Copies of this chain bind each other. A is one copy, B any other.
């Protein structure tokens, strides 16, 4: 491709409305343009990257035995009513009526449609397992679309759905998808981690997210520093501290703590570490029929944070999690939230494993402006339950038993679920099993955010000059930058010949044939992030040489004209 015949559309200025680096660089590198909130046009450089990601995903899905289908983006409301999601989903699900006033949705995902297809096509256990996927445009009417294509309303996704009669079969396909995803991200050339994840609103039991590591990532991931263990911080188990709980030494005492409500204030006032204070949070309890709403006390160490997802899963706690109001707390205990504690309370007390390991600790006295010191479990608080309800912190023991946890940031680009029968049950999708009986299928689902990967790759691979593409998804593999070719026939001829040779060798090359100053060309090509560049200049040509530069390492070397193709091929083969 010649730049003069291409739509480069690079920008010198950083657009004001872009918050994250990938969004800024995608705009500046001429990859995308905003059409409307959360809606982006992919310009040529953007499409080239997008199509490469798409093709790698397709090839690895095919290799893993998944079969490609293509479902409509517009889906009839009836199927969503059948699954219950027509009512359950909020305004993210874009609903509209057609010319005949029939209701439809713009598909944010395709569980309903694929389950409908499979219940019609598949009648026997002999046709299972089956894993169907598509690569297709999705729409989610985000309340606040942001970060460019990272959280757009219209986006490209690979979604796969598998169907089974047994957990073993589901596990096999799940494992195959796990491997396929590793292959995909390896081939894409990205630093990623599969992590244990919460199954959230989609439902199901087992789930892994695939994260591209980047300091700008929205999600926090906990890793073991010595094993393969990795989990979304929402999911990472916080173990009890090692060893037995220390014995109680101090006796219980009430102490005035005027104007000290927060853990930090109490710690400063009493000269104790935050880790020796237990903080008590009150949340609404699971409703019991015929009874007034009541509360549950959650007790954590002062230096720990509540993990709301873990708390919400407790049978005692109402879902979704709902914090008690100041009025509810005062009605229960006669004190404000800054002075409450678990001693003598008349509601269920759930204690985090680390807090349960404390002895001689400090809690609120359930009396405004007072705390209790020398508090001890069992002696002072007898009726409580221990559970894992906190977020892990760096340095915690890894739940796998090996090493300590470290925390990194990641961008979720893939997610695999063991769905169970949520959709197959709702849509009555069953087959005849080996015994000739009708049996509801169990399902897995497997998503990759194709357009999101493009942004995540940039978050992970950039410097102050622009994008640094991994070879596999670079818009072009090589760029030819001739110095003043419009004034030098010799430069023009040498570049034309290299261009022809590279093209003939099947290398994707951009030939920057613009009448621009070298500085402008260098800046544009660094911004776009083409991994390998060849500069053709007068002086080097005297020795039949051109200058190679690696975008990532910055390494430069002179190549003899006769060796350019072979050298580039060896770089690209890596």
* Chain B residues near A96 (CB-CB < 8 A): 94, 96-97
Residue A464 interfacial (CB < 8 Å): no
Q: A47-B68, A143-B99 are in contact. Are A76 and B7 (CB under 8 A)?
A: no
Q: A33-B117, A113-B35, A116-B35 are in contact. Are A44 and B72 (CB under 8 A)?
A: no
Q: Which of A77-94 contact B (CB under 8 A)?
A: 91-92, 94
Contact A33 B70 (CB under 8 A): no
Residue A255 interfacial (CB < 8 Å): no
* Chain B residues near A141 (CB-CB < 8 A): 98-99
Residue A465 interfacial (CB < 8 Å): no
* Chain B residues near A154 (CB-CB < 8 A): 72-74
CB contact between A76 and one of B9, B35, B47, B102 (< 8 Å): that residue: B35
CB contact between A41 and one of B47, B70, B98 (< 8 Å): that residue: B70
Q: A76-B35, A153-B74 are in contact. Are A69 and B42 (CB under 8 A)?
A: yes
Interface size class of A (residues with CB under 8 A): 35 or more
- A121, chain B: closest CB distance, angstroms: 5
Contact A71 B35 (CB under 8 A): yes
Residue A377 interfacial (CB < 8 Å): no
CA of A154 to CA of B104 in the docked complex: distance in angstroms? 13
Contact A33 B137 (CB under 8 A): no
CA of A546 to CA of B51 in the docked complex: distance in angstroms? 40
Q: A94-B98, A98-B94 are in contact. Are A73 and B33 (CB under 8 A)?
A: no
- A492, chain B: closest CB distance, angstroms: 18
Contact B71 A113 (CB under 8 A): no
- A18, chain B: closest CB distance, angstroms: 16
| Consensus secondary structure, chain A interface | mixed
CA of A397 to CA of B244 in the docked complex: distance in angstroms? 105
Contact A117 B67 (CB under 8 A): no
- A474, chain B: closest CB distance, angstroms: 16
Taking CB as reference atom, which chain B residue is nearest A95?
B96
CA of A48 to CA of B68 in the docked complex: distance in angstroms? 8
* Chain B residues near A130 (CB-CB < 8 A): 7
Contact A44 B67 (CB under 8 A): yes
* Chain B residues near A385 (CB-CB < 8 A): none
- A163, chain B: closest CB distance, angstroms: 11
CB contact between A7 and one of B48, B67, B106 (< 8 Å): that residue: B67
Residue A36 interfacial (CB < 8 Å): yes
What are 22 pairs between A and B in contact, CB < 8 Å?
A5-B65, A5-B67, A7-B69, A35-B75, A36-B75, A36-B76, A36-B104, A39-B72, A39-B75, A42-B70, A42-B71, A43-B69, A43-B117, A44-B69, A44-B132, A47-B68, A47-B69, A47-B70, A94-B98, A96-B96, A99-B141, A136-B137
Contact A9 B41 (CB under 8 A): no
- A136, chain B: closest CB distance, angstroms: 8
Residue A139 interfacial (CB < 8 Å): yes
Contact B67 A6 (CB under 8 A): yes
Contact A33 B121 (CB under 8 A): yes
Taking CB as reference atom, which chain B residue is nearest A42?
B70
Residue A40 interfacial (CB < 8 Å): yes
Taking CB as reference atom, which chain B residue is nearest A143?
B99
Contact A68 B44 (CB under 8 A): yes
Residue A50 interfacial (CB < 8 Å): yes
Q: Which of A120-137 contact B (CB under 8 A)?
A: 120-121, 127, 130, 132, 134, 136-137
Residue A46 interfacial (CB < 8 Å): yes
Taking CB as reference atom, which chain B residue is nearest A73?
B137
Contact A41 B74 (CB under 8 A): no
Contact B35 A72 (CB under 8 A): yes
* Chain B residues near A44 (CB-CB < 8 A): 67-69, 132
Taking CB as reference atom, which chain B residue is nearest A141?
B99
Contact B70 A50 (CB under 8 A): yes
Q: Which of A295-351 contact B (CB under 8 A)?
A: none
Q: A117-B41, A132-B7, A141-B99 are in contact. Are A46 and B74 (CB under 8 A)?
A: no
* Chain B residues near A39 (CB-CB < 8 A): 72, 74-76
CB contact between A70 and one of B46, B65, B72, B106 (< 8 Å): that residue: B46
- A159, chain B: closest CB distance, angstroms: 13
- A15, chain B: closest CB distance, angstroms: 12
CA of A389 to CA of B72 in the docked complex: distance in angstroms? 43
- A106, chain B: closest CB distance, angstroms: 7
Interface string of A27-69 (1 = CB under 8 A from B): 0000001011001111110111011000000000000010111
